[in-house]
A and B are shown apart, each in its own frame.
Chain A
Amino acid sequence: MFELFISNPLVLMMIEVLVICIKVVVVTLVVFSLPLPLTYIERKVAGHIQVRLGPYRVGPHGILQPLADMIKLIFKEDIIPYKADPWLFKIAPIIAMVPAFAVFATIPFGEKVTIPFIDKEVTLYISDMDTGILYVLAIAGLSVYGIILGGWASNSKYALLGGLRSSAQMISYELALSFACIGVVMVVNSLSLVDIVRAQSGWHWNILYQPLGFVIFAIAGLAEINRIPFDLPEDEGTLGAGYHAEYSSMRFAFFMLTEYVAMVSMSVLMVILFFGGWDGPGFLPGIVWFLIKVAFIIYVIIWTRFTYPRYRYDQLMTIGWKILLPLSLLNILITGLVVI
């Protein structure tokens, strides 16, 4: 009776749909809650780099600090400035947040695993698209809208300047970022992220074949997620706070959340493209290697933030257009000559 029920095509389809829904919910929840520990880690790392303790009061070693911050942000008053565009002001943080999460639809976290008890094979990615890397780059490029619209809708000169800066910056560095990915695609001969990881198995990591591409990707990636030394959109020295100067309460928290999620997705992308994804020595399961690599890259990004000063705006544009872009074209040329 049960066998018959399980082999019914309609039931099989329902199970497939259910599995995808569960995966989407799990990934979203995990990504949504990641910024909580990340803010704590960032402040602790900052503290220790600057020879102080960082958060220490709430809970042992300040471990409950993110929760306290969250409660504070929820209960703060949500202020909408007089003369702001109220409709855009309200939806801008959500427009910023959606693409940051949508990126994870194609991100592969590991190979197939078999779930015990029901004996069903489940892939550790939501979808393996034929155009995976293009999808990720295209969707990641959309997150600029939240920043521009938030800056414009605030009707404040500092926020507007922050929004303008960020749109110019993200468009400039998106080119170098995409071109750095083309080198990887040429080596691997596929656009699918799963294929890219599989091609690197057995220590054939792309960083060995694409060192120049990796350097370009790392620098452009930092600029794309607005991290120091490229965080001009929120340059507090000249802009007050930047594009989110007028935001408060949960809308401000959504912008912060987006930034952390973007940092995670950029680290994940870097691991998949250049560090072999879940490839590693066999004594640990693949997904553990994957998470270790991602955690290390996130740590390096935080480390960078408290080590380097910020670039000036004209320097930022010079690096993007006159150095990174020609270098990435050169990288494609070299890769083309070697591969063919």
Chain B
Amino acid sequence: MTEQIFFFIFAALAVGSAIAVVSLRNPVHSVISLMVCFLQMAALFVLLRSPFIAVVQVFVYVGAVLVLFLFVIMMLDIHKASMERFVSGGQLGVIGLLVVLVIEMVLIVSKSKLAGISVASVTHLDGSVREIGEALFTKYILPFEVVSFILLVALLGAIVMGRKEVK
């Protein structure tokens, strides 16, 4: 009961701030709304009994990624950016895209395998750090290593592209 009340508070704030991200004119205000949205998502993860995911969400997205966003946006010309339209091509195209996305969402939620899984069926996992670590290094070792390799390649790629040509 109490949990449901908290869920609705967090969910409403998350949706509201997500709408604010795309509707606010000032890019810095958008980043702040995105930060609020991510924090609410972290709170939802806590409600789903996975504090580790929640903390990582705050650590990686709010603590690092968004700070870098802000860092770049602060160097932009805010007044020019807030005058420009986000999507060119009139309102009809935007509404059409919105309708397609909504239909897609409904289909995914109702038809996919995920729809059948209830929260009660996964409660044997308590979401502790130990459990996640064991799962990552035994059952999911191959995807884990592949992901870390891709990240390493991306990092090297960024360095190579950012480096000035030395003759």
Interface residues in chain A, defined as those with a beta carbon under 8 Å from any beta carbon in chain B: 85, 87-88, 129-131, 134-135, 137-139, 141-142, 144-145, 148-149, 152, 160, 163-164, 167-168, 170-171, 174, 191
CB closest chain-B residue, reference A129: B51
Min distance, Cβ A157 to any Cβ of chain B, angstroms: 12
Interface residues in chain B, defined as those with a beta carbon under 8 Å from any beta carbon in chain A: 26, 28-29, 32, 35, 51-52, 55-56, 58-59, 62-64, 67-68, 70-71, 74, 128-129
Min distance, Cβ A170 to any Cβ of chain B, angstroms: 8
Q: Is the CB of B129 within 8 A of A171?
A: no
Q: Is the CB of A148 within 8 A of B129?
A: no
Q: A141-B59, A163-B74 are in contact. Are A149 and B129 (CB under 8 A)?
A: no
Q: A129-B51, A141-B64, A148-B67 are in contact. Are A134 and B59 (CB under 8 A)?
A: yes
Q: Is the CB of B68 within 8 A of A134?
A: no
- Assembly CA distance A129 to B49 (angstroms): 12
Q: A138-B59, A139-B58, A142-B62 are in contact. Are A131 and B67 (CB under 8 A)?
A: no
Contact of A130 among B28, B58, B70, B129 (CB under 8 A): B129
Min distance, Cβ B67 to any Cβ of chain A, angstroms: 6
Contacting residues, chain B, for A145 (C-beta < 8 A): 35, 67, 70
Min distance, Cβ B36 to any Cβ of chain A, angstroms: 11
Min distance, Cβ A265 to any Cβ of chain B, angstroms: 16
Q: A134-B56, A160-B74, A164-B71 are in contact. Are A149 and B32 (CB under 8 A)?
A: yes
Contacting residues, chain B, for A138 (C-beta < 8 A): 55-56, 58-59, 62-63
- Assembly CA distance A171 to B67 (angstroms): 8
Contact of B29 among A88, A130, A148, A167 (CB under 8 A): A88
Known: A130-B128, A138-B58, A138-B62. 20 other contacts (CB 8 A): A129-B51, A130-B129, A131-B51, A134-B52, A135-B51, A138-B56, A139-B58, A142-B62, A144-B67, A145-B35, A145-B70, A149-B28, A152-B28, A152-B70, A164-B71, A164-B74, A167-B70, A168-B71, A171-B68, A174-B64
Contacting residues, chain B, for A131 (C-beta < 8 A): 51-52, 55, 129
Contacting residues, chain A, for B74 (C-beta < 8 A): 148, 152, 160, 163-164
Min distance, Cβ A332 to any Cβ of chain B, angstroms: 15
Q: Is the CB of A191 within 8 A of B62?
A: no
Q: A88-B28, A130-B52, A130-B129 are in contact. Are A174 and B70 (CB under 8 A)?
A: no
CB closest chain-A residue, reference B131: A130
Contacting residues, chain A, for B52 (C-beta < 8 A): 130-131, 134
Contacting residues, chain B, for A129 (C-beta < 8 A): 51
Contacting residues, chain A, for B70 (C-beta < 8 A): 145, 148-149, 152, 167
Min distance, Cβ B107 to any Cβ of chain A, angstroms: 36
- Assembly CA distance A160 to B67 (angstroms): 14
CB closest chain-B residue, reference A160: B74
Q: A148-B70, A167-B70 are in contact. Are A88 and B32 (CB under 8 A)?
A: yes
Q: Is the CB of A130 within 8 A of B51?
A: yes
- Assembly CA distance A137 to B59 (angstroms): 8
Contacting residues, chain A, for B35 (C-beta < 8 A): 145
